[in-house]
Amino acid sequence: MVLTSFGLKNVPSNVVLLIEEDIGDVKSVFFRKISSDALKLGKKVHYISTRSSEKDIIEELNIPATQDHKERLTVIGNFSDPISLLDMCYRRHKLCIRLYGEGAGPLHNIADADVCVIDMFSSLFIHEDVEVISETIEALIRISREANITFLLSADIGILPERAEKILRSMVDGVIQFRTEYAGGKINRYINIPKMKGSIPLNKMIAYNVTSQGITMDNRERVG
């Protein structure tokens, strides 16, 4: 996956990662790269978006319209039902099957995925108590271990209360933060990885650029 380009080579596959950003939508570019790479490797991807339609996500992934890719990619666009997500977390996919019928529930086959993206995770829990958020993370961690799934959860920094954000960061297996700094009329973009299961913490933030090809590492030393 794209994580190797950040110097992270030993991240387990059964983890829950939190992808944070102070402002902007670089995390979605990151998710598309992760998803397309996973599909190319023959993995199954479950992509849940609260902001984009199914059609837009499929177009942005820019993957071949083959039957093989269609069978391995499940997209749920304009998702706004945290109850459905909570049902899946607490009772796995059995409740969805009971409610919607075999094969009909939108989250019924999430346990079959290798990679599951939830973008934006934080927006689903703006009006929920901290206890609900922590129980959801506990459930996702349990599912990731049992079904060997990588969960990627996105959050805009400041959307949730500070205590909820701190609890999220402490509970997940890894945190990747996309940060933007403004200095001397220039925009500097950095990736900060304060924690990551299976990897030694990096000694400094990683400079990067966003191009039409996606996220590229900037190996130049920044001055000032």
Q: Which residue has the higher pLDDT, 199 or 193?
A: 193
CATH number of the domain to which 44 belongs: 3.40.50.300
Whether 193 is in a domain gets the answer no
Whether 20 is in a domain gets the answer yes
Per-residue confidence at 220, pLDDT binned at 50, 70, 90?
Answer: low
Domain count, the chain: 1
Q: What value does the mean pLDDT of the chain take?
A: 82
Whether 196 is in a domain gets the answer no
Amino acid 146: pLDDT: 87
Residue 17 confidence (pLDDT) above 60: yes
Amino acid 223: pLDDT: 42
Amino acid 93: pLDDT: 45
Residue 8 confidence (pLDDT) above 70: no
Domain coverage including residue 176: 12-188
Burial zone of 170 (CB within 10 Å; 0-12 exposed, 13-18 middle, 19+ buried): exposed
Whether 55 is in a domain gets the answer yes
Q: What is the pLDDT of residues 154-170, one digit of tens each?
A: 999 999 999 999 999 99
Q: What is the pLDDT of residues 63-92, one digit of tens each?
A: 766 656 678 899 999 998 887 787 766 555
The predicted model scores a pTM of 0.86
Whether 154 is in a domain gets the answer yes
Whether 203 is in a domain gets the answer no
DSSP 30-57: HHHHHHHHHHHTT--EEEEESSS-HHHH
Whether 3 is in a domain gets the answer no
Amino acid 183: pLDDT: 84
Amino acid 185: pLDDT: 83
Amino acid 2: pLDDT: 57
DSSP 86-123: HHHHHHTTHHHHHHH-TTTSTTTTGGG-SEEEEETTGG
Whether 48 is in a domain gets the answer yes
